[in-house]
Amino acid sequence: MKITGVNTYFVRPRWGFVEIITDDGLCGWGEAVLEGHAASVLACVNEMKDYLIGQDPQNIEGLWSTIYRAGFYRGGGVLMSAISGIDQALWDIKGKFFGVPAWQLMGGKCRDKMRVYSWIGGDRPDDVGRDALEKKGQGFTAIKMNATEELQFLDSYDKIDAVLERVAAVRETCGKHFGIAIDFHGRVHKPMAKVLAKKLEEFDPMFIEEPVLCEHMELFKEIAAACNIPIATGERLFSRYDFKRLLNLGGVDIIQPDLSHAGGITEVKKIAAMAEAYDVALAPHCPLGPIALTSCLTVDATSYNAVIQEQSIGIHYNVGKSVLDYVKNPEDFYFIDGFAKLPTLPGIGVEVNKELVIEENKNPHNWKNPVWHHEDGSVAEW
């Protein structure tokens, strides 16, 4: 079996898909995107075609090593996201060739289902309390919410109070044992992060995410010492080497590699195993589409330290199209009592609606995240 073609597609709301075709008639799908940089990533996939055409798609480790190492420059968001989509597609082909879910070829499952959480939006306490209760009514046992709007290095305590009011609304509405994950989104700098983390303790969050950006990863240990809340991070790290430094520095309890950013199934499985040796949990980042989600569930199925899975069905970022629009097996994406089923179809578990993908690609999206500014006009972290 040889690779004969590699196709790339832009699909709304902000994603990129990769299709790898073989001379056996099998095709595999991957999701290669870095949100806001889809064009760069898909161009990178096209640059990597030369390493793939004519090769046996089953030699995943060899192909992964070739496209990672042979280009001389390596790592970073664009290159690793391109590799991620290719890697997912190769695993999809391999599972289809053997007629089994890809996780069966990775040692088999260590769980029967995977706990998931849902996003909620809304800036007012009434909104987040109502939205969280709606998710609880749908069977979810946990939600994630943004902690705050933009914050300066030193900012006013009315913004802190607003965060506490929103989190309090969720806790009061959904009860003591409902999971609340609070995403700082890298918007907060160290001085205010320590204040905010300490004050959030009273609400018993499941975790706080990206209390500071990963370029300041040496600070996680200091923030951890200031509060008794698990710290999660990792969506902006792209390889086992990035995570090696994070784990060695300490202070982090949960890592969140993204299956479409951090080298795909092959690399994230290695990152998960490395984290397990540090007694650190895995909760893959996934505000993306169906291929990314089933790739996450493939790794979750085989990783003992996987604890909860992000998913983007109903997330506020999805405008125009959503996860289930691109799948022909939506029944495999239904959640029961806050859990997702493991993929059951051969490959990574998604039957892609190729007709819609082709139609979407005729008018490529150009999604960009909002640009925020502080009151003084300086650029704020989004």
Contact 12, 23 (CB under 8 A): no
Please identify which of the residues 37, 189, 261, 285 carries the catalytic annotation.
285
Contact 347, 101 (CB under 8 A): yes
285 is catalytic: yes
216 is catalytic: no
Q: How many other C-beta atoms are found inside a 10 Å radius of the C-beta of residue 165?
A: 12
Q: Cα–Cα distance between 158 and 2 in angstroms, integer?
A: 61
Please identify which of the residues 185, 189, 261, 365 carries the catalytic annotation.
185
Picking from 35, 10, 31, the residue whose alpha carbon sits closest to that of residue 369 is 35
Amino acid identity, position 255: I
3-state secondary structure the chain: CCEEEEEEEEECCCEEEEEEEECCCCEEEEECCCCCCHHHHHHHHHHHHHHCCCCCCCCHHHHHHHHHHCCCCCCCHHHHHHHHHHHHHHHHHHHHHHCCEHHHHHCCCCCCEEEEEEECCCCCHHHHHHHHHHHHHCCCCEEEEECCCCCCCCCCHHHHHHHHHHHHHHHHHHCCCCEEEEECCCCCCHHHHHHHHHHHHHHCCCEEECCCCHHHHHHHHHHHHCCCCCEEECCCCCCHHHHHHHHHHCCCCEECCECCCCCHHHHHHHHHHHHHCCCCEECCECCCCHHHHHHHHHHHHHCCCECCEECCCCCCCCCCCCHHHHECCHHHHCEECCEEECCCCCECCCCECHHHHHHHHCCCCCCCCCCEECCCCCEECC
Residues recognised as catalytic: 185, 285
